[in-house]
Structure 1
Amino acid sequence: MTDLHAAAAAAGLKRDWTDASGRPQQVADSVLEALLSRLDMTPAEQPFVSATVGAPILLPGASAGMADLVLEDGTTRPLPVSEAGVAAPLDVIGYHTLSIGRHRYTIAIAPPRCPQPSGRSWGVSVQIPSLRDQRASAFGDYGTLADAAAAFGRAGAAALAISPTHALFPADPHRFSPYAPSSRLFHNVMLADPSLVDAPFPDEQSGDLIDWPNALSARLTHLRRVYLAENLRLQAAVTAFAAERGPDLAAHARFDALHCRLGGAGWPDWPTEFQDPASPAVQRFATEHADEISFFIFLQWLADQGLEHAQKAARKQMAIGLIADLAVGTDRAGSHGWSRRSDLLSGVSIGAPPDPLGPDGQNWGISALDPYALQRTGFSSFINTIHTALRHAGGLRIDHAIGLDHLWIVPDGGTAADGAYLTMPGDTLKNIVAIEAHRANAIVIAEDLGTVPPGLRDDLSRRGMLGMRVLPFERDTEGEFVPPAKWDADAVAMTGTHDTPTVAGWWKGRDLEWRSRISGATDPGSSTQRREERSSMSQAIGISKDRLTPPLDEIMEAVAEAPAALAVFPIEDLLGLEEQPNLPGTTDQHPNWRRRMPAATPALLARPDVQRRTHMLSEKRPG
């Protein structure tokens, strides 16, 4: 099997790896064979290389001489290349072209570090659909977000971290998870706010839980009415937006229009003649249903306008404003998988290996950008993805940032345990993030939780990408909680995330109640363990270990005193709510992504207990 192992290593597949417990693991040969058969390692015609400002640039295959460099702005200059194929350092951030002899390269030059938050400030994290405003709405949208951003800014927050706004599936209202998008190149049009163009907003059922199938169907119907009434008035602005976004937007709109007509889980369920975006059948459809495609282009414009409006509302009061969230991958059956199929890994899905929190591993059922395709296309899809995320944001949180260096890939038909790590071009991906963050003057938060490979956190810190220090996970080698005052300074301090129990819920064991209800069995050991954990946390924050009610104010104050420049608190913790937005490992057993806030944001912030907390945060972290 020596040849197999050598081929796997050459492809970037890691045969040997270390699990979360520090135990060495080895991937079975059958898994390596299956994964190798799914990788297209055709080399790029024009290599893409990257470096930071002031660092030498290694040019594979180049020989000594004077290269012709064309900067991004079109200016030219000579650049010496050594006998070792190393070009002299550059001080111009951006994407440039270099030619020497018969070789041609794309050169990405990044700043040494990403922009940093100033002073000591605080922010809030929210799920956009959960928000309420003064309207009777089935779910929050970009207009609701703008109102919330203004309210949080007035309360002293410097940032508002939001759930992903990636494009979902307007034709399939059952797929509402923001982390399994149709495309990350465009936005979720179902959150578009018609009132932004002075169109009426419909009265909708506004319950405590979002009824996504009925709510999205009704909202789409209303948005069609808005399009029919307003398209002519807004046509010039929409046409200019479409020209700016180019063919990718047209293809995305065609996908959404086709999906509305053909149904199914996505393009693999469509008749064969529609599965190829360049087929005559698709071209005929585009001609015969031009107005339907224009409708979805209009919705993308309206979504873009809504996010721009929300960021402007945020920046009137906030130093950072919106912090966008970047999901790790996309649904292969979605728009990106249809229109730019070769961009994505094929025949595999991504996930996580077995660990103590998930003994069977995790298969997320989504795909990711193919590292070899990235090289062949000049990393265009990744550049556009980051640019889209930062278009109207002052920050970016990268979900599962470990995936920048390597991804756990699982062959179709296999279990999550039947996977292996695939090496990604981490240096180049991080340099691209830094370039785009520099251009947007945006901070970068890299989610570095879970099985973190050695050296990753040091690398993120060196690049100015902030890690995440989340209260439930900050423990020493004995499992005891570490006081927030001792957390890392180069990471965002947090009481929780959308995947963790709220502070009040954790203290009361609400997450344990949910697990017991779902499994149908009670685990006495988990309750005993939680009591011990509460005692450990009490000691870490300096309160009595016999406290029965959740010490929410004390915990928030302790986290506010962490050395991080930015501390972010889920809105659920700011309000003292017990239920969490998402319970990992569940689908319909728990109302994931369906919970709404109890009132409009300004009313919530006016509550005495919430005012007390925001005042405390602003005193501890004045910005």
Structure 2
Amino acid sequence: MSKDQPTTPDAAPDEMDETPDDVRTDAPEAVADAPSASDEPTAELRELAAAHGVLTEHHGFGGEAVTTSAPTLVAVLGALGVPAGTPQQVTHSLQRARDDEWRAVLPPTVVVREGDDAQVPVHVTAGAAVHVWLEAHGAEPAAREHAVRRRRDLDQLDVLVEPRTVDGRTIGRATFALPADLPLGWHSLHALTEGHESRATVVVTPRRLELPAGLEDDQWWGFLVQLYSVRSRTSWGVGDLADLADLAWLTAHRAGADFVGVNPLSATEPVTPLTTSPYLPTSRRFLSPLYVRVEDIPETAYLTAADRSLVEWAADPVRDLVADPGALDRDAVWEAKKAALEVVFTAPRRAARQAAYEEFVAAEGTGLRDFATWCAIVEHLGSRPRPDELGDPASPAVAALREQLAERVEFYVWLQWVADEQKQTAQRVAREAGMRIGIMHDLAVGAHPQGADAWAHRDVLARDVSVGAPPDMYNQQGQAWSQPPWNPRALARAGYAPYRDMLRTVLRHAGALRVDHVLGLFRQWWVPDGASPAAGAYVRYDHEALLGILCLEAHRAGAVVVGEDLGVFEPWVRDELADRGVLGTSVLWFEKEDGRPLEPEKYRRASLATVGTHDMPPAAGYLAGEHVDLRERLGLLADDAQELRAAARAERDAAVLALAMRGLVGDHPSEREIVEGLHRYLRKTPAALVGVQLTDAVGERRTQNQPGTDQEYPNWKVPLADGSGNVVLVDDLFDNARLRSLVQAVRTAR
């Protein structure tokens, strides 16, 4: 994603984001009009916005102060459920905001760090008695689910706070102390007053997410891949979880790699056409069954001859696609796999397998059932619009249709189980092969506005706005990504349960998790529907809660967390991430000092270092200036092409000079020698992790995604191939001389 923009006038242009991980970067033609006098927000509107975490001013990419217009503030506040359309509404909403915390007996959620002393305000009728206690649970799921809850009465502190009259009622505040020795995990806080019991969530998070043993003073490396593009002879036209397991085993044994990072494997639509971008899933929590290897489902071995023939017939139309160098055809593959999976679904399961399935379904709970219901409804409706009565998962109409479509709902539940099993197998194979991390999964910023998450989490997502990015030097109209953001207050009222459940599912069977646009845990750019992306506003989030919960769930899963923190932002943000043990992202082409490549010794220790990103051409293509050529062909250049080519050549020459000064390349190095030198350069840095794009290893030149395009370029459809356009399969990776040479360079560089 495009990242946060400059917050200080002296922000360095070289650090500006080049729009990584775009899910939709095409900005509308219209741009914001020059502000009029009526657009200037009043002092009361500014105060109301500030009370709800909406920034009324930020710095543009040129360092200039930009004031958020009144219409934008009104729209963003409306998306938060705060009326502000008239002066009277602003006054009323501001008064409510001042008294909001006094209306609830307990705060909705209390997030604290392990070992910290914390205080909880409790609001009751002035003079009324209140009894407050906490029921503590263990940090681990098994312990939490099976242990007897430990009830602990809380002590009231001698803190004097004047009562307040709220809605005609005099409210007093009592302050209670949370025990500093609470275990990590999710706990419940209770208050009993005047015969009424209130409840809140207490989350105790790690002070720091520690790195795995052995990585504290070492550097581990691994491959970064777009799994759909990495196919084998037994694939069904796109790379799948079986290919991932094979890739992990091969790269562990033959390359000494410690991890394989993959694009988000999140769920797509249940019917074609499928959204191609991995960063615009229908659900961030659940997996795409497109990545299931049908033959690896145990029940496939026990099909009748007739049913086995049906599976083979389904595969026939897409088997030959693995050798096709053209754009990947997800739709054909999903139609084939879906037909085969429907056959396997009908096969009986052994008693132990059935019990495992039932345990999985119980553990995933309502979230899984709702997701499967959404899939069944979408399939049932086909191209027909969804009736309003089916817009709420809890509606009687949905309940009736869920019963009517019970078998299809069960099918989509089962698909998640088999996908989860194969995800688990990939991680097990990776670790048993010797990888010290295994599979690094990826979490997108958000989900499709018409998808399963938007449907299931309608109460905790903001409406009528989209996450995006303000104007920058690469996208001067700003960006809207068509993804509804979390509503910060609604999420807190829900005890952060939707966020927690998503993280738990994504982190299961993961050795590491890359979080796309991790800066979104601190603030996000909200664009009102129908407005120019430039006419948005930043909304702050409770980063202590979101980051703490991320660290807690990663700790429970035993996973490393890498935050994609590219861009310009307040320096304290990176400090906060590092303090919590979340690694950042260092991209060689962006790491500069005084216009020259940053010396390797000056790289951050707490980071994953890479040469480029999948939103840029691989190293070979970038060195040749193909990022300029492609953008010129597509009409995306705002500046003179020749000037940009000259800048690209200068950037290349500076990189080669930096390599030569360290003896990493000789005179007149070849393309291959430069690519290897760039990776050797990264191995000289103190970065905890170094990622090698598999495309760089085989000499691929084409980018996976060209920001700013939709149909003009085959985004997310480019199969893995070498520099001549010849398809490279998993089976043949280590027959590739260029890959073997790069692996040798990486392994011997330390």
TM range (shorter): over 0.9
One-letter code aligned to 2:700: L
* Post-superposition offset of 1:473: 0.9
| Residue 151 of structure 1 pairs with residue 216 of structure 2 | no
The residue aligned with 2:451 is 334
Question: Which of 47, 50, 62 pairs up with 2:108?
Answer: 47
How far is the alpha carbon of 1:548 from its aligned partner? 6.4
CA distance in 1 between partners of 2:409 and 2:524 (Å):
35
Q: 1:47-87: per-residue Cα shift (whole Å, max 9, x none)?
A: 21112112222323479999533211412334545335453
Distance 1:81 1:228, change over 3 A: same
TM-score, scaled to structure 1: 0.93
Q: Which stretch of the first structure deviates more once superposed, 482-491 or 500-509?
A: 482-491
71, 96, 121: which one aligns with 1:60: 121
Aligned equivalent of 1:569, options 689, 692, 699: 692
Q: Could you tell me how far 1:524 is from its partner in structure 2?
A: 1.2
The match for 1:71 among 124, 133, 136 is 136
- Choose from 169, 180, 201 the match for 2:280: 180
Contact 1:65/1:80, CA 8 A, preserved across alignment: no
Counterpart check, 1:296 vs 2:419: no
Measure, in 1, the Cα distance between the counterparts of 2:558 and 2:574.
22
Question: Using a 3 Å threshold, how does the CA distance of structure 1 residues 188 and 311 change in structure 2: closer, same or farther?
Answer: same
Tell me the secondary structure at the aligned position of residue 225 of structure 1: helix
Is 1:324 aligned to residue 453 of structure 2? no
Partner of 2:368: 249
Determine helix, strand or coil for the equivalent of 2:695: helix
Q: Note if contact 1:238-1:297 (Cα within 8 Å) is conserved in structure 2.
A: no
Shift of 1:584: 1.4
1:122 aligned partner: 221
The superposition leaves residues 535-574 of structure 1 with CA deviations (integer Å, 9 ceiling, x where unpaired) of 2212232357965635111111111211112111111112
1:7 aligns with 2:78: no
Please state if 1:225 is matched with 2:343. Answer: yes
CA spacing shift, 1:122–1:227, aligned 2, 3 Å = same
Distance 1:493 1:65 in 2: 53
1:582 matched to 2:673? The reply is no
Answer yes or no: is 1:451 the counterpart of 2:568.
Answer: yes
Q: Report how far residue 100 of structure 1 moved.
A: 5.4
CA gap 1:153/1:82 in 2 versus in 1, 3 angstroms: farther
Secondary structure, in 3 states, of the residue corresponding to 2:676? helix
| Shift in CA distance, 121/66, structure 1 to aligned 2, threshold 3 Å | farther
SS in 1 for 2:551: helix
Classify the secondary structure of the residue corresponding to 2:346: helix
Q: Relative to structure 1, is the Cα distance of residues 254 and 66 closer, same or farther in structure 2, using a 3 angstrom cutoff?
A: closer
Q: Is the contact made by 2:294 and 2:337 (CA closer than 8 Å) also made in structure 1?
A: no
2:649 pairs with 1:531:
yes
Give the direction of change, closer, same or farther, for the CA distance of 1:150–1:285 in structure 2 (3 Å limit).
same
Shift of 1:277: 2.5
SS in 1 for 2:538: strand
Name the counterpart of 1:498.
614
Q: In structure 1, how many angstroms separate the alpha carbons of the residues matched to 2:654 and 2:154?
A: 59
What is the distance in 1 between the residues matched to 2:707 and 2:363? 38
Letter in 2 for 1:143: A
One-letter amino acid of the counterpart of residue 524, structure 1: Q
Contact 1:65–1:81, Cα closer than 8 Å, also in 2 = no
Partner amino acid for 1:259?
A: V
The structure-2 alpha-carbon separation of the partners of 1:3 and 1:524, relative to structure 1 and needing over 3 Å to count, comes to same
Task: Provide the residue aligned with 1:359 in structure 2.
Answer: 476
- Asked if the contact 1:53–1:111 (Cα under 8 Å) also holds between the matched residues in 2, the reply is yes
CA contact (8 A) 1:404 1:426 kept: yes
Quick check: 2:437–2:511 contact (8 Å CA) kept in 1? yes
TM-score normalised to structure 2 length: 0.78
> Secondary structure, in 3 states, of the residue corresponding to 1:421?
strand
Counterpart of 2:79 in structure 1 is 38
Contact 2:566 2:585 in 1 (8 A): yes
Q: Deviations over 1:183-213 (max 9, x none)?
A: 1221112212212224366242222220122
Match of 2:559 in 1: 442
1:221-620 matched pairs, under 5 angstroms: 221-229=339-347, 235-264=354-383, 269-316=385-432, 317-476=434-593, 478-519=594-635, 523-542=641-660, 543=665, 547=669, 549=671, 551-597=674-720, 598-620=727-749
Q: Which amino acid aligns with 2:408?
A: E
- Aligned residue pair count: 617
Which secondary structure state, in structure 2, belongs to the residue aligned with residue 124 of structure 1? strand
Amino acid at match of 1:72: H
1:189 aligns with 2:254: no
Distance 1:354 1:167, change over 3 A: same
Tell me which moved more, 86-95 or 541-550: 541-550
| 1:514 Cα deviation after fit | 1.2
Q: 1:237 to 1:88 in 2, by over 3 A?
A: closer
SS of the aligned residue for 2:362 comes to helix
Tell me by how many angstroms 1:298 deviates: 1.2
How many Å separate the matches in 2 of 1:580 and 1:99?
54
List runs of 5+ in structure 1 lacking aligned partners. none
Indicate the larger mover: 483-492 or 154-163.
Answer: 483-492
Change (3 A) 1:227 1:104: closer
**Secondary structure at 1:243 match in 2:** helix
CA distance in structure 1 between the partners assigned to 2:152 and 2:389 by the alignment: 49
Q: Is the CA contact 1:115–1:437 (under 8 Å) kept in the aligned structure 2?
A: no
Contact 1:115 1:442 in 2 (8 A): no
Q: 1:492 to 1:313 in 2, by over 3 A?
A: same
Query: Which whole-Å CA distance do the structure 2 matches of 1:136 and 1:431 have between them?
Result: 39
**Which residue identity lines up with residue 687 of structure 2 in the other structure?**
A
Q: CA deviation at 1:451?
A: 3.1
Name which of 44, 52, 63 aligns with 1:22. Answer: 63
| Higher mean displacement: 599-608 or 454-463 | 599-608
Alignment partners' CA distance in 1, 2:230 and 2:732: 12
Contact 2:444 2:515 in 1 (8 A): yes
Unaligned runs of 5+ in 2: 1-41, 83-99, 139-148, 160-174, 301-310, 721-726
Counterpart of 1:134 in structure 2 is: 233
The offset of 1:291, in angstroms, is 1.3
1:97 counterpart residue number: 188
Please identify the structure whose Cα radius of gyration is greater.
2
What letter matches 2:280 in structure 1? A
* CA distance in 2 between partners of 1:88 and 1:65 (Å): 18
Pair 81,434 (structure 1): closer, same or farther in 2 beyond 3 Å: farther
Quick one: which amino acid aligns to residue 184 of structure 2?
A: I
Matches of 2:282 and 2:543 in 1, distance apart? 24
Deviations 1:441-487 (A, max 9, x none): 111101111232331001011111000001111112x3322133321
Q: Distance in 2 between matches of 1:404 and 1:19?
A: 20
Question: Higher mean Cα deviation, 465-474 or 576-585?
Answer: 576-585
Counterpart CA distance in 1 for 2:600 and 2:583 is 16
1:99 positional shift: 3.7
Report the Cα offset of residue 498 of structure 1: 1.6
1:365 match: secondary structure: coil
Q: Label 1:156 to 1:287 Cα distance change in 2 as closer, same or farther (>3 A).
A: same
